[in-house]
Amino acid sequence: MLDAVTVDQLYPRWLVARENNRPFTLIDVRSPEEYRACHVPGARLISLNTLMSRANEVPKEGDVFLICHSGARSAQAAVYLKQQLGFNNLINVDGGTMAWSNSGYPVEGGVN
């Protein structure tokens, strides 16, 4: 089963990490164009179509949150990383960047 959080569950963890300068791994699997338009501050872009070749950039230690527009592509990325490469530290962000933005949480690059 895939671990998941809502944006309302993610936000306090994200905020505490930022305020305390702690590591926080949030990977955005959308396209570069989508990322430039609007993304969660601090999210790292690894597009779904490059994930196979860049999987070594995904930490195997600590929580790794995966986000996309609505949660479908990030879930797909999590399933791939878990089933094919043995990752067990992945958490999908339900609702994705759209839910994050619609909840009024900070974004960079514009608006959805």
Residues identified as active-site? 68
Nearest Cα neighbor of 112 from 67, 69, 72, 65 is 69
Q: Is 107 exposed, middle or buried (0-12, 13-18, 19+ CB in 10 A)?
A: middle
